[in-house]
Chain A
Amino acid sequence: MELLAQQLITGIATGGIYACMALAVVMIYQAIHHLNFAQGEMAMFSTFIAWQMLAWGVPYWLVIPLTVALSFVGGVAIERLVIRPLGDAPVLSHIVVFIGLFAIINSLAGFIWDFTIKPFPSPFGEGSQFGGLISNHQIGMIAVTMAVLVMLFLFFQYTRVGLAMRAAAENPASARLVGIRVGWMIALGWGMASAIGAIAGILIAPIVFLEPNMMLSILLYGFAGAVLGGLTSPTGAVFGGFMVGIIENLAGTYIPEIGGELKLPIALFLIVTVLVFKPTGLFGRTVVQRV
């Protein structure tokens, strides 16, 4: 029983990482209706910026807002400079551009900060609660994820910009007619996704250590979480992220043949199974097609 509780909590804690990433994935998906394969690399780059600032001796409470702000600007810049010129090229061309971005950012980070693994301090300090059951960092991670989710909800529900962004995503033509600058709303979506990615990166780095390839499997889990919850629902994405974390941990513990190596395949297998029965995810809206 204690093992189960332990594993559940660990699952929820790692799920927090995936939830963060899934949230960022859904943000961009809402804005542009593409899956951004470079999302993880963008988050990794942001985390390296944070690491660099810490190495220069900037205090932690200043590093986080600075990194988030820089990432926001970076996300907007990528949209304006790289994605915008593509226009309405076919979906697959977009995917190739994302793959290109992935390669560029990964290679650049390796070039600047090299490929050695770097430790990253937790913003919540060391130590643990409830007799070592859960570390401070894990608690902090879950709390931050939930806080980001609530803030996003409030932003989209109660601010004019949030409303404009939803309108631009829902119906670009009509949104333009009522005076919303759809292009900038998309850029804003990229910026926000990039900022959320930065938060996710900073939260993840103390656990998986910092190196240019750290985000690869995490992005996969993030995608998995986003799809599980439904790509159209931020709440669903967070829920999906937590679910993936829990499933992964329980499967790794209770199915003996699986062990460490096969955690990822099991998680992905479950997701494909869910998709087959519920093709738009657990919380997704079904899109009805007009003939």
Chain B
Amino acid sequence: MSVNTTTTDGSQAATGSAGSVKAVSLPKPAAASSNAKIMRTAGIVLLIMGLAAPFMAGNFLIFQLTMMLIYGIAILGLNILTGINGQFSLGHGAFYAVGAYTAAIMMDQFGVGYLWTLPVAGIICFIVGFLFGLPALRLEGVYLALATFALAVVTPQLFKLSPFEHWTSGVMGIVISKPEAPFGLPLNPDQWLYFLTLAIGLLAYVCARNLVASRTGRALMAIRDNPIAAGSMGVNTALFKSLAFGVSALYTGVAGALGAIVVQYISPDSFTFTLSVALVVGLVVGGVGWLPGALFGGAFIMFVPNIAEELSKGLSGAVYGAIMILMMYAIPTGLGGLLKAALTALSKRSKTR
């Protein structure tokens, strides 16, 4: 029974059949600590690169990197739901849109400072996600995927509705002004937003890690691996599944709010279901159930379409699709799965030496 394990390994189990009990082999302590050391070093190197990047890149690249981080936060949220709790969602673009609209309306209509919109967007999305999680309790697998897909399609339409036009400006969208760096920091607005996003992203990641390592996290994973067993061991399945939806939506909503501030413009057509689909692609490419994978997933959905565009103007969609498919052949469990396999091989070799 995998209830007592603290491993975050979910790439296989999350996507396998829900009913089967998976044998989870815990890595040996020695190997685990050396792996953790490698990971920590890699993390610190990445962080230094992340801190240095805005001083070396042009403003447009900084903008792209900021968007990459924002998508990363959204994918992190999706990962909590899909990777850790085992529920599919093809509709996270909807929560992203709700977050973005919350931020935009608060700034545009009520003149609230942009920083204050982020927690409000998070809370509203948590509530929306939790409420959507309740009916979703009845659904599993494909049916859940479809219900969330419906959510993704419906949400942008709702923002076009005439009764809400007073706030949302309908199809016209809302223009937001770009915030300046506070306290007289010597940063231009792009750099400031980048650092803000980086800080929020780090906070989000640390929270997600702690959540996964906590009692709640173990309950979520137990539900993923075997809902019936989890329930019979005293886990309140319904509550935790809805909570997972809520937390996941919170992450994605904050990402959406950040996205609105960074892009400075939102309209219903910015949040079509292609956004939801892109988030799922990012999740799978990064590795389902591996939290740092969100960053790589974000990078993939931010930069690979541009690369495809450069390779072939007319057939950019085909190139992007082909890259996606080839990625899945090469690493069906995403970068997370690849890395795990590599680290296991590495620690085995060092032991035999």
Contacts and interface: CB of A to CB of B under 8 A. Distances in A.
**Interaction A to B:** yes
B contacts with A: majority SS: helix
Interface string A92-128: 1101110111111011101100000000000000000
A90 B325 CA distance: 14
Given A92-B288, A107-B318, A110-B317, 19 more contacts: A29-B142, A35-B146, A86-B329, A89-B332, A90-B333, A91-B141, A93-B333, A96-B328, A97-B325, A99-B324, A107-B315, A108-B315, A108-B318, A224-B150, A265-B157, A265-B158, A269-B154, A271-B146, A289-B228
Nearest to A217: B153
B285 A96 contact: yes
A195 B136 CA distance: 34
A271 B320 CA distance: 32
Nearest to A263: B157
Given A93-B333, A96-B280, A104-B317, A269 B324 contact: no
A contacts with B: majority SS: helix
Interface string A19-39: 000000000010000110000
A279 B332 contact: no
Nearest to A216: B273
Contact of A104 (B139, B283, B318, B332): B318
Contacts of A99: 277, 280-281, 321, 324
B140 interface: yes
Nearest to B283: A92
Nearest to A278: B138
Contact of A100 (B147, B283, B316, B321): B321
A85 interface: yes
Contacts of B163: 257
A148 interface: no
A121 B276 CA distance: 35
A262 B158 CA distance: 8
Interface size class of B (residues with CB under 8 A): 35 or more
Interface of A: 29, 34-35, 82, 85-86, 89-93, 95-97, 99-104, 106-108, 110-111, 220, 223-224, 227, 231, 257, 261-262, 264-265, 268-269, 271-272, 275-276, 279-280, 289-291
B19 interface: yes
Contact of A90 (B11, B139, B150, B319): B11
A103 B12 contact: no
Contact of A272 (B16, B141, B150, B280): B150
A224 B15 CA distance: 23
A289 B141 CA distance: 14
Interface string B318-338: 111111110111001110000
A275 B150 CA distance: 12
B332 A111 contact: no
A90 B154 contact: no
A264 B153 contact: yes
Contact of B157 (A93, A111, A261): A261
Nearest to B171: A261
A257 B158 CA distance: 12
A100 B325 contact: yes
A268 B156 CA distance: 13
A95 B147 CA distance: 15
Contacts of A85: 329
Nearest to B140: A279
B147 A272 contact: yes
Contacts of B317: 103-104, 106-107, 110
B175 interface: no
Given A82-B325, A276-B138, A289 B19 contact: yes
A223 B288 CA distance: 25
Contact of A107 (B19, B321, B325, B327): B321
B161 interface: yes
Q: Which 10 A-B pairs have the closest CB atoms?
A: A107-B317, A90-B15, A103-B321, A100-B324, A89-B332, A104-B321, A268-B150, A100-B321, A107-B318, A100-B325
Contacts of A290: 19
Contact of A95 (B14, B16, B280): B280
B157 A262 contact: yes
B149 interface: yes
A15 to B, nearest CB: 18
A108 B314 CA distance: 9
